[in-house]
Amino acid sequence: MDDPTPDGDSPPALRRIRQLFLHLYHPSPPSPSSTAGEGQLVALPCGSRERKVAAVSVAELAQYMRGRHREIQDRVFEFFRSRADLQTPVEISTADHRELCMRQLTALVRDAGIRPFRCVLEDPSLYFAISEAVGGIDISLGIKMGVQYSLWGGSVMNLGTKKHRDKYFDGIDNLDYPGCFAMTELHHGSNVQGLQTTATFDPVTDEFVINTPNNGAIKWWIGNAAVHGKFATVFAKLILPLQGMGGGSADMGVHAFIVPIRDLKTHSVLPGIEINDCGHKIGLNGVDNGALRFHSVRIPRDNLLNRFGDVSRDGKYTSSLPSINKRFAATLGELVGGRVGLAYSSVGVLKIAVTIAVRYSLLRQQFGPPRQPEVSILDYQSQQHKLMPMLASAYAFHFATLYLVDQYSEMKKSHDDEAVSDVHALSAGLKAYITSYTAKSLSTCREACGGHGYAAVNRFGTLRNDHDIFQTFEGDNTVLLQQVAIDLLKQYKEKFQGGTLTATWSYLRESMASYLSQPNPLTARWEREDHLRDPKFQLDAFRYRTSRLLQTVAVRLQKHAKKLGGFGAWNRCLNHLLTLAESHIESVILGKFINCVQSCSDDNTRHVLKLVCDLYALDRIWNYIGTYRNDDYVAPNKAKAIHKLTEYLSFQVRGIARELVDAFDFPDYVTRAPIGMSSEAYSHYTQYVGF
């Protein structure tokens, strides 16, 4: 039988015989111990799977996971462990939490001698490591630190010039100049170009006049504004009088301005400025969010952060960038570090949550076989299904965000246009995908821990509420995914015009070719474990799905644009575009995970990571099995094999789950939840309630 491929013109009986042949036929080479020749039917023993995972060296695995900056994180943990006065209690009022959060940040900088702001400029990867550790102490503290140094400080350093750095660096660094990042307005958040606050140049006094023209332009949700901030970077339309068409005013687009909002000595609100408190929030109540209204507030011309555009004494505008859109893109591009930090910190939150849930699930025993001891709830397949793919995802996200931080750090050094574009899209996608996944996982972890997961002391409620806004600030996740989709479509166009694809997207050239060809009916039926656990099969499957989604949405957009126009076509295909972006990010995450597995020099650690990576990959493939079946990329027998193997890998990972969470290397002081303690969990819990 030379051609085992089913032939649509063959009689039904012959087609059934060929289908049976394909089900039994394994064209991959036999193992060295096999005596069967190539192309022969091979009987596979039912017990061929490896039943036991090698013992895990937690020390080796933790060392491989740590990265370069574990020492500074240990300093943060030890400092706060030694200061009982700085520990956040389970129950605390909003006002007290805000004051505690400010004291925590001040103590970190002035008592512990850790200066995050210098890291923002000199070594971003070190800054993100500090941010993750600080977020482990209190997520509110991590966000307040980010507002001060990454947003307020970062905007001054990245959007300003030498005169701004010389004037403000020390005060921002030592917290003499606590500040805000005033971009969002009541009516506009994601659409930054739609901001309505104005900064009108007055050539007579050489000043800008900052004004809030209506209630919709009130700056809203501004961190540090309600209580502690003394300055704000205010984003406003730069208006030049008499320089527009017909002698009218010229709108030069959104620019950033340094605006003092409180007196440096008395802390009184300055004239012309209204500040109100946004009030109690769902979470992050250690951060004092406020609303700002400006009534013709005058600031010196030098307070324009003028890296990308400047106004001379006589009111003339100059810029190295030719258009409003290019200046706007350059401005926002310099603020991408916030997204990098949120993606990185979100992984830290996921690690803490999954550590608590796994340790409790190993400890908690319920039911069991008749007349035998009760079993750990993590021995139940349903609990494994909830938590083991999540644990694998935490590992995958860890390596992906380490890569993102490295790419961001290199971009800040090189300022290469291609690197800037790549990091912009990668940070948008990873921030959106990881924070959404973590948000869902926090609820799953709470449910997996039953009633005890509902106790505030066991932290799931606080983690869930504090993390929830990660999906919104620094770019709404739905908007960020659309940015990824836009870049994918640009790369798709480049592919067919013969252009060079940037680093993150380079796989599209090969995988698009694979998609445009017909699926191989042989490989669609291969179901052997060694094939399903082959990184090439896994990555090809991820990339095939992305390419399929990209090709089909491009066709749909072109078709709908003829009747609906560009905006209408985009909206008609929006869910398709979001799925495309998520699929691409999953491909990137898996690719980085595979690279890190293969780069691990310790055989035992590499074996453990390979198991975790296989679970991550096959769980995702199974989640989208309908897509693969519809395209005949995966035959029914192979789909069933993927499902069975995914469940089996979850069972195997359960066997080393304790070691995998221990390798995250969180001290009990950071985990804090009594049910998530590394030992004597029930004793900690009963002591907490008073027994």
What residues act catalytically?
474
**Secondary structure letter of residue 29 according to DSSP:** P
Parallel, antiparallel, or unpaired: how do β-strands 310-311 and 317-318 relate?
antiparallel
- Cα separation, 389 vs 620, whole angstroms: 9
Query: Which has the closest alpha carbon to 348: 432, 438, 423, 437?
Result: 438
Q: 111 in helix, strand or coil?
A: coil
Q: How far is CA 362 from CA 84, 290, 383, 671, in A?
A: 30, 44, 10, 16
- Cα separation, 330 vs 327, whole angstroms: 5
DSSP secondary structure, 241-274, as one string: TT-SGGG--EEEEEEEEEEE-B-TTT-PBPTTEE
Residue with tokens 């691990």: 600
- Asked if residue 478 belongs to a known ligand binding site, the reply is no
- Cα separation, 118 vs 93, whole angstroms: 32
CB contact set of 495 (below 8 Å; sequence gap of 6+): 501, 508, 509, 512
Burial of 242 (0-12, 13-18, 19+ CB in 10 A): exposed
> Structure tokens of 582?
């998520």
- Cα separation, 182 vs 532, whole angstroms: 50
> Structure tokens of 250?
């010229």
CB contact set of 265 (below 8 Å; sequence gap of 6+): none
Helix (H) or strand (E) holding 23: helix 12-24
- Asked if residue 341 belongs to a known ligand binding site, the reply is no
Query: What residues does 293 pair with on adjacent strands?
Result: 274
Helix (H) or strand (E) holding 233: strand 231-240
Query: What residues does 256 pair with on adjacent strands?
Result: 235
* Residues contributing to the annotated binding site for FAD: 184, 223
Residues comprising the binding site? 184, 223
